[in-house]
Amino acid sequence: MLGSRAVRAVVAMVVAALVLFCMAQSAPAQRTFRHAPRGGIHKIRHVIIIIQENRSFDSYFGTYPGAVGIPMHNGSPTVCSPDPATGACIAPYVDHADRNGGGPHDAANSGPDIAGGKMNGFVAQALLGRHHCVDPTDPACVHSASPDVMGYHVQSDIPNYWAYARHFVLQDHLFESVHSWSFPSHLYFVSAWSANCATSNPMSCHSALDPRNRSSARPTPFAWTDITYLLHRHHVSWAWYLDHGAAPSLHLFRRRGTLAESFVPGVPKIWNVLPGFVDVHQDHQTGNIQNESEFFRRARAGTLPAVSWLLPDGLNSEHPPALVSTGESYVTRLVDAVMSSKDWKSSAIFLTWDDWGGFYDNVVPPQVDAMGYGIRVPGLVISPYAKAGYVDHQTLSFDAYLRFIENDFLGGQRLNPKTDGRPDSRPDVRENQKILGSLVKDFNFHQKPLPPFFLAPCPKTTLTGVPSPAPNCSLPPGVRG
């Protein structure tokens, strides 16, 4: 028989084994992935999502070689959009103007623009939108001219964007997740849903194409689950970076002064949605909502978080009447900052525009549920592992960004109320839509990593009306260009 000392030793060993077993069972899932082999998608340790404003695919890349762009025959467009004011049918045309007007782009305009699949309602909707104009100098409000929604830019107008497409990946079937405007689109970026909630209970929410935004009376109206809940639960770092901080209001414009002065400083509430989510506050994660200067600091230090979202202020956003050139130079500075960082070798930058802005596009959006998809927007993938010069024809939406994050950092966990630990009343799991392509196909994780591809923030351009001196032409400290 064992002596008492031996018995105590055996009991201690059994207890220790049980403790280790329980720790292993209850440990956050992220611990499993943190030490997993860094092959395939896991070579990407930094996902950077840059969200610009209000451009359709055809308005920027409609003539890009190899892409599904504006239908042409012998170099001339074979499509047009009727102008009910003149009876003419306006074909797409090259528009070199730096300052565009665009058209209305609420949920009420998406269906008429699509026009039952004819994709020819853009001019009529733009003319209707003029009834709401308050700034007579806005290009969208000049009644003596045709709306510029059928205008498109060419390579010489936006040379940096086309250079990224040639050197990395261009997506020509990326659709806005929701057939509505910027605010619900930004909700989809982080949560794959847009809803109104009766209370702070996640089960009280119902789908809404134009939901109620946060206000002083209801600072956290978004009760359903967003991706930061899962990132926090799995100990995955993230940051929500705001260009010049947060704007105090919902509004983008003051509508007075010069063009630069007309924009409200900072990121407006219609784009800055994360502070409105209940779970961000419950998880004490509001400190991850930061000024964009912190992004540049962390890029220089090589300490970027696993997931970053970058939101422009109005002036840098490309949201009409903001300048195309200013937005392109702003984006170039961000991309150059990542490429100058030691984090470049493990980064994937996803660049897109949040909705179509009323501009013409020829591809009929697929209908996946009552909320979307919306009209097509440009998408670029910039990474050392991106397939060089690749045009991706897969059907994609902003939900694909969430799925990529979930597959890379969360072991494939979805924003699924049945499995994510925080049930809500969302009608479907958007990341699991059968029609949704995989962003992994835009990468070749076996290739020799592509080196940094630095571009000057203010390249030579054929845009007309570019200010002199142009903003954003200097690079932040430590950033090469």
What backbone torsions phi and psi does residue 372 show, to the nearest 5 degrees? -175, -175
The reported pTM is 0.91
Buried b vs exposed e over 23-35: b needs ≥16 C-beta within 10 Å?
eeeeeeebeebee
**Dihedral of the alpha carbons of 329, 332, 337, 341, in degrees to the nearest 10:** -160
CA dist., res. 189 & res. 18, Å (int): 42
| Amino acid identity at 54 | N
3-state class (DSSP) for residue 159: helix
Strand positions, DSSP E, 190-281: 195-197, 205-207, 238-242
Cα–Cα nearest to 343, from 401, 303, 283, 285: 303
What backbone torsions phi and psi does residue 171 show, to the nearest 5 degrees? -100, 120
**Beta 76-77 vs 72-73: how paired, if at all?**
antiparallel
Element (H, E) at 30: helix 30-34
Cα–Cα nearest to 125, from 92, 149, 144: 149
pLDDT in tens, the chain (481 residues): 445 555 455 444 444 444 334 433 333 333 334 444 578 999 999 999 999 999 999 999 999 999 999 999 999 999 999 999 899 999 999 999 999 999 999 999 999 999 999 999 999 999 986 655 555 455 555 554 678 999 999 999 999 999 999 999 999 999 999 999 999 999 999 999 999 999 999 999 999 999 999 999 999 999 999 999 999 999 999 999 999 999 988 777 766 666 767 788 899 999 999 999 999 999 999 999 999 999 999 999 999 999 999 999 999 999 999 999 999 999 999 999 999 999 999 999 999 999 999 999 999 999 999 999 999 999 999 999 999 999 999 999 999 999 999 999 999 999 999 999 999 999 999 999 999 999 999 999 999 999 999 999 999 999 999 999 888 998 888 888 7
3-state class (DSSP) for residue 297: helix
CA dist., res. 149 & res. 123, Å (int): 7
